[in-house]
Amino acid sequence: MLDMKWIRQYQEQVQTAANQKGIAVSIAELMALDERKRQLQQETEALRGMRNKRSNEIGGLVAQGEQDVAAKMKQQVKEINDRLAAMEAELMQGEKDWETLMQLVPNVVSPDTPAGRSDADNVEVRRARELPDFPFEARDHIALGELHDMIDVRRGVKAAGTRNYFLKGAGVLLHRAVQQLAVDLLLRKGFTLLDVPLMVRTEAMNQTGFFPLGEDQTYLLAGEDKWLVGTSEVPLVAYYGNEVVEVNEPIKLAAASVCFRSEVGSAGRDVYGLYRVHQFAKVEQVIICRADPELSEAILQEITANAEELLNCLELPYRVMAVCTGDMSQKTYKQYDIETWMPSRGAYGETHSSSNLHDFQARRSNIRYKDPSGKLRYCHTLNNTAVASPRILIPLLENHQEEDGSIRIPAALRPYMNGLERLAPGVE
């Protein structure tokens, strides 16, 4: 969340950010609620002070034999308590209404974030590697997966419903190989690897900024205050929730985990193949650092470069996109998406995302550090998808296919595939 004093000072900027991100929240209404809340707080404190003063005086009056005066003062205390009870009830409701609106207030966006309404307005920053030019009719990843008996969507749907799948044989090996390649890359760069909970409390989802706006994308366990996470960003950030941390050097965390998303709102979109599924695996990088905009901007470039390095290891064509205002989440200050070329789509498809949240997420999670003067300050947090599978299998299979249906394995991936240089149909 944003600091309330900052919101008061920059109301127009915050409302603009909400409008650009398509979030229905009135900052003017929030200001009115905040003013009323502060007024009620002052009035209740004044009434409590008056009540306590009167209560303390009653004992002295009784001791002095001033029974009539004491009785009148007791009546005054009763009337004050009645007023106080009504005012406290109004304050409690006011605080609840204020908190509800505050949970909807978005982060502002960086000055260099492009304006736009959807991903169609994202701006290309750079691209890498040449697109393949097949001298034969190329197969899509499902046809290749069936040819190699390593992807079975039909049985996935039979067992678990739409947007589900089975990986088999070489498909599982590739799925695990790209994750381990990403993990090893991050370990070399100083990240600490964690195995994280896949179920978290509502509090963790709220504190990391995924709720309340993302509840419809998340699976709730019936009868429990537990949600299945759609990214290990949630438990990685929650790991330091409500703590004062040491950030002389940025804290670099990584996790390889299974993730779940309901994909509500995507009905009819990307229903074919492995692009948009309910269950997948991600290697996530999360960094917590000082509240230094120049530092967190440098880290954003760094974690984006980590994802690019992974794609170069996989020898895949990609482009980096500056995400526009209308395609950003509530919590994001600045974001890049990386899109990898998918021949069957005839287009680049999103495979990675990098975000700088400034102190928005740390405020909600209460993650702080002491600056050189000893003052407590909220950290900046950042996150990036190092790799997500099985989506990454789409470009991996399709870009490296050969005319007979064989699939060339990139050199960097071969140590994780028992030294195999290619997958040949009927051989794996």
Shared domain for 155 and 60, answered yes or no, is no
Question: Is 353 annotated in the active site?
Answer: yes
Two structure tokens written together for 109: 């966006």
Q: Annotated catalytic residue: which of 257, 353, 355, 389? A: 353
Quote the pLDDT of residue 221. 96
> Given 233, 297, 350, 398, which residue is catalytic?
350
Same-domain status, 126 and 213: yes
In a domain? residue 108: no
CA–CA distances in Å: residue 74 to residues 49, 55, 58, 130: 15, 8, 7, 86
Range of the domain at 49: 4-102
The answer to whether residue 112 is domain-embedded is no
| 109 is a domain residue | no
pLDDT (0 to 100) of residue 427: 59
Residue 154 lies in a domain: yes
Residue 153 lies in a domain: yes
Set 139, 261, 363, 368: catalytic member: 261
Q: Is 111 domain-assigned?
A: no
**Do residues 89 and 148 both lie within one domain?**
no
pTM for the full model?
A: 0.92
What is the CATH number for 253?
A: 3.30.930.10
Whether 93 and 125 map to the same domain: the answer is: no
Task: Give CA–CA dist 341/346, Å, rounded.
Answer: 8
What's the number of domains the chain is made of?
A: 2
Q: Which residues of the chain have pLDDT under 50?
A: none
Residue 160 lies in a domain: yes
Last residue of a domain, one of 102, 127, 148: 102
- Give pLDDT, residue 58: 76
Q: Quick check: is 48 catalytic?
A: no
For residues 185 and 225, membership in a common domain is answered with yes
**276: annotated active-site residue:** yes
**Whether 173 and 308 share a structural domain:** yes
What was the pLDDT predicted at 282?
98
Vertex 281, ends 201 and 175: CA angle to 5°? 165
Determine whether 155 is an active site residue.
Answer: no
Q: Are residues 270 and 382 in the same domain?
A: yes
Which of 49, 69, 102 lies at the terminal end of a domain, its last residue?
Answer: 102
Residue 377 falls in the annotated catalytic set: no
Final residue of a domain: which of 67, 102, 137?
A: 102
Give the burial string for 323-333 (b: 16+ CB within 10 Å, else e).
bbbbbbbbbbb
Task: Establish whether the linkage from the previous residue to 212 is cis, with ω within 30° of 0.
Answer: yes
Domain with residue 11: its CATH number is 1.10.287.40
Burial of 314 (0-12, 13-18, 19+ CB in 10 A): buried
Give the per-residue pLDDT at 74.
82
Q: Do 242 and 378 share a structural domain?
A: yes
Q: Does 184 reside within a domain?
A: yes
Do 54 and 142 fall within a single domain?
Answer: no
Q: Are residues 211 and 313 in the same domain?
A: yes
Instruction: Pick the catalytic residue from 54, 276, 345, 377.
Output: 276
Which token pair is 410?
A: 């990139």
Do both 91 and 180 map to the same domain? no
Contact 379, 332 (CB under 8 A): no
- Check whether residue 154 and residue 265 sit in a common domain: yes
Cβ–Cβ under 8 Å, residues 21 and 325: yes
